[in-house]
Amino acid sequence: MKDSIIIVSGGMDSITLLYDKKDEIALGISFDYGSNHNAKEIPLAKMHCERLGINHLTIPLDFMSKYFKSSLLDGATAIPEGHYTEDNMKSTVVPFRNGIMLSIAIGIAESHGLKKVLIANHAGDHTIYPDCRPEFITAIDRAAQAGTFVNVSVEAPYTDITKGEIAVIGKKLKLDYTETWSCYKGGNKHCGKCGTCIERKEALAFADINDTTPYEA
């Protein structure tokens, strides 16, 4: 029975979760919050949902780019290069982004009589993104169940695994990861140098997947 909503960005993690849980998902939601790479990701999210016969919505959150401070919202040149373990990558945090998106998705779930909201955060996010950490997921799940008549739950099945382990799941599902987008700079090709590009390369290598992503020279 399809009783779930998924927050689907068009990146490796959420597209893997989309296919992993496709038999449970009634609706896919993408959020356009004005990041450099939204224009690359969201069409892919819509394409995959349509391929699976899952309804898809894009919800604009343009206020975030006006009032929130993050290099992710300040243009491609503001995006730092390097590994996620480096301190400069903290500039890419969009404050409470997942909290805002999950709150909206929870409200939509209750409006449609759906019981679950799925999100694809993973263990590699924990270092710099507070609203990807297990304690946050636990807290917002409790808040969702307490604050809705139908006791909507938030489920994040990849919270305790790495992006590489997610890629292993995708390999078993026979996913083509060239049909996903990672780069925070949002250019014509993946830059290959920002934190998400490096993480993408490492994940595909971990899963022994041939990386055919077009990268800039």
Choice between 93 and 110, residue whose per-residue pLDDT is larger: 110
Q: Residues of the chain with pLDDT > 70: what percent? A: 96
**Residues comprising the binding site for ATP?**
8-18
Residue 84 is predicted with a pLDDT of 67
Q: Does 147 map to a domain? A: yes
Q: What is the pTM of this model?
A: 0.95
For the stretch 78-98, pLDDT in tens is 888 877 666 677 888 999 999
Residue 113: CATH number of its domain: 3.40.50.620
Q: Does 10 map to a domain? A: yes
**Residues comprising the binding site?**
8-18, 183, 191, 194, 197
Which domain, by its residues, includes 60?
Answer: 4-206
Mean pLDDT, residues 140-148 taken together: 98
Contact 2, 27 (CB under 8 A): no
Q: Is the dihedral of CA 48, 51, 53, 55 positive or negative?
A: positive
Q: Does 214 map to a domain? A: no
Choice between 6 and 77, residue whose per-residue pLDDT is larger: 6
Q: Residues of the chain with pLDDT > 90: what percent? A: 85
Question: What is Dmax (Cα atoms) for the chain?
Answer: 53
Checking if the pLDDT of 128 tops 80, the result is no
Strands (DSSP E) found in the chain: 4-7, 25-32, 55-60, 116-118, 153-155
Checking if the pLDDT of 41 tops 80, the result is yes
Based on the structure, what is the number of domains in the chain? 1
Residue 28 is predicted with a pLDDT of 98
**Residues comprising the binding site for Zn(2+)?**
183, 191, 194, 197
Mean pLDDT, residues 188-202 taken together: 94
